[in-house]
Chains A and B, each alone.
Chain A
Amino acid sequence: MPEVIFLLLRRMRAPLVTLISAYAVAMLGLVLIPGETADGEPWRMDFFHAFYVVTYTAPTIGFGEIPHPFTGAQRLWMMFAIYGLVFAWLYAIGMLLSILQDPAFRRVVDLSRFRRSVRRLSEPFYIVCGYGENGSLVVRALADEGIRPVVVDSDAERIEALKVEGLTMEVPGLNADADDPQVLIDAGLNHPDCAGVIAVSRTDEANLSIAVASKLLAPQVPLICRARHRDTEANMASFGTEHIINPFDTFAERFAMAVRSPGMYLIYAWLTGIEHQPVARPLVPPRGKWILCGYGRFGKAMRERLAEEGVDTVVVEAEPEGTGAPEGTVVGRGTEAETLQEAGIEDAVGILAGTDSDPNNLSIILTARELNPNLFTVARQSLGRNQAIFEAADLDLVLDAGTVLTREVLGLITTPLMERFLQLTLSQDDAWANVLVSRITALVGDELPHTWSLPLGVKSAPAIIDYLQAGHPFQLGDLLTDPRDRNEWVPALPLLVHREGAYHLLPAMDMALQPADRILFCGRSGAAHHMAWTACDHGALSYVTTGDDRPEGWLWEWLARRGRGAQA
């Protein structure tokens, strides 16, 4: 704020000097010009009355000629004085208004307001660089989770859009280039509550420079970066970027997972699901010949992953030389029936439309479906606003890079144990996955399962820590007992327990808990609250473990002790 005041005052110098001079000259004239009283006695106006007269004439109020009617000479002087004073005021006010509306000044005001709101943040927050297709989804998801984002985007229109987005919390936004290190500092990189930087700008170069700057300026702040190309990914990893997300690679990996084990895919899709988005349906991509239209970054990732699962793909690409398409590539866009027939659409089991144009992708799917109605259809959606037509096309699966990215980012931030859990599931077989799917379905029904982790620490579970330190055993099953009725279970499933570097997948209910354990749960929304009640409230904990309602407060505790003493 001080810099704004300085700027304003510096530019107001000339009008203020004009105003003071106009007052001074007008007053001096009034004092020097001889006047007379009502009786004709000679009289000179003093400075006090001169200031009074000028004060009310300058803003054109005009109380009249006081204390005595003016002489001709005084009136002549006043005439000129009023013109001068009114002009001086108009000049000053006009200048003030033009400064306030000046775009350069507005930028300074916005920057200073942004800095102030970032400085005042007193909760962990994430700096999101880039508020485009992907960034806006990430920001919305974070806000819905109650995690505060701070947004930086070089496009003024996007920042305007942020202001009218209607998010559930106040999100500070700045229109500036995030690859400028100073901007990152303004956005709170050195703030003690800065929990991480999420770089999702339009270009890989911008993300890379954000990553470098933030690693050098604040090495302790975790970094999540979006990379479009493999070499960027390697570059980012080389200087210790914690998490690099390549949405196409991630999607291809998940798709390959669905081919290998549909149950595993479903677990993955559920546990990384985003609120307010449709719940993932079971997906069983058939094995056989797939047609892949568009051999760009997405096409390459898909072909590679599917080949690992032993699924053959026929590539259709308009520019085979430029993209380095494999041998046997059919030349064409795939939007025409001839090309698709040449690629063998009649005996294919599925089609992947992965060009960078949304209309072309839909056109490919519609043409292919006419030629072979039984195809499994997958299309890539680039623009969020095309959601309605992609839904109307009734595809088996849509790749929306923004959603994939948001799921990954959210998973990393809200449930850090989740990444580990999902890695561990990869070594399990399909049957294991199917059992888990049915257990989760039994818990949540049609809803999206919520996931949360509970660290057994002094802050998050004070009651349990006290209980354990008093030497009582506390089992996982106790934590899952409903604190309102101990004959019921909390609708939640423990997925993973992390203890001293070891991970226990799907722990048993009779597992004895220890302080500093971290437990990952999934379950119905609201279950986390009941669990937190047991973890934080001594009364609830005592009820859950023993079935007794523990007396609260010194008086009742004393009475209860007396009562027990009398019985004994």
Chain B
Amino acid sequence: MNLEKTIFAFVIVLAMTVNFGFFYGEVANPDHHNVYELYGALVVSLIATVMKLGERTQIGALLLATSLVADVQLIIAVLVWGTVAYVTDTGLTTHTMAAIVSLSGGALLANVVSVVLLVAETIMGRR
């Protein structure tokens, strides 16, 4: 039992689950996608990225890369949301909602890859 590994795995899996929570639902329906969940997904994803910083192993580098992909996708989703809601004042139309949710869907894929890598590393390590 390694506390560092536990926290690390917790954050990575949490990033995936929270993101899934936001993503799940009808794509273009704003009522199915909670803003708090998107917020949570971004914060956890950023923390997950920071925890992988400075990893010099091959798997560590891959984890950092996938995590950065998730960050980029989520940050763009948040920017789109902020822009339509407060800058252009168009509001959350079905079109923009679909864009935001599909961006978070991309991030979710990256999260899944992260978790798969994590599991693979654990199995390979046999410790």
Tell me the A residues contacting B by CB distance below 8 Å: 6-13, 16-17, 20-21, 23-24, 27-28, 31, 46-49
Which of B18-26, B49-57, B116-124 is the interface stretch? Answer: B49-57
Interface presence of B82 (CB below 8 A): yes
Instruction: From the candidates B51, B53, B54, B85, name the one contacting A48 in the complex (CB within 8 A).
Output: B85
Query: Would you call A28 and B39 a contact (CB within 8 A)?
Result: yes
Instruction: From the candidates B36, B39, B51, B86, name the one contacting A17 in the complex (CB within 8 A).
Output: B51
Give every chain B residue within 8 A of A46 (Cβ-Cβ). Answer: 35, 85-86
Q: Which applies to chain B's interface (DSSP): helix, strand, loop or mixed? A: helix
User: How many A-B Cβ pairs are below 8 Å?
Assistant: 46
Tell me the chain B residues, 48-94 only, with Cβ under 8 Å from chain A: 50-51, 53-56, 78, 82, 85-86
Task: Apart from A13-B53, A27-B39, list 12 A-B contacts with CB within 8 A.
Answer: A6-B55, A6-B56, A7-B54, A13-B54, A20-B47, A20-B50, A24-B39, A24-B43, A31-B39, A47-B35, A48-B86, A49-B86
Interface presence of B97 (CB below 8 A): no
Query: Would you call A17 and B54 a contact (CB within 8 A)?
Result: no
Give every chain A residue within 8 A of B85 (Cβ-Cβ). Answer: 46, 48
A-B contact pairs, 26 of them (CB 8 A): A6-B55, A6-B56, A8-B54, A10-B55, A11-B54, A12-B53, A12-B54, A16-B50, A16-B53, A17-B47, A17-B50, A20-B43, A20-B46, A20-B47, A23-B43, A24-B43, A28-B39, A31-B36, A31-B39, A46-B85, A46-B86, A47-B78, A48-B82, A48-B85, A48-B86, A49-B86
- Measured in the bound complex, the distance between the Cα atoms of B82 and A6 in whole Å is 33
Give every chain A residue within 8 A of B50 (Cβ-Cβ). Answer: 13, 16-17, 20
Q: Which applies to chain A's interface (DSSP): helix, strand, loop or mixed? A: helix
Query: Would you call B39 and A47 a contact (CB within 8 A)?
Result: yes
Q: Within the complex, what minimum Cβ distance (angstroms) separates B48 from chain A? A: 10
- Measured in the bound complex, the distance between the Cα atoms of B93 and A370 in whole Å is 108
Give every chain A residue within 8 A of B35 (Cβ-Cβ). Answer: 46-47
Q: Within the complex, what minimum Cβ distance (angstroms) separates B56 from chain A? A: 6
Closest to B82 in A: A48
Give every chain B residue within 8 A of A20 (Cβ-Cβ). Answer: 43, 46-47, 50
Give every chain B residue within 8 A of A49 (Cβ-Cβ). Answer: 86
Interface centre among B39, B50, B82, B86 (most CB of A within 10 A): B50
Query: Would you call B51 and A13 a contact (CB within 8 A)?
Result: yes
Closest to A23 in B: B43
Q: Within the complex, what minimum Cβ distance (angstroms) separates A351 from chain B? A: 64
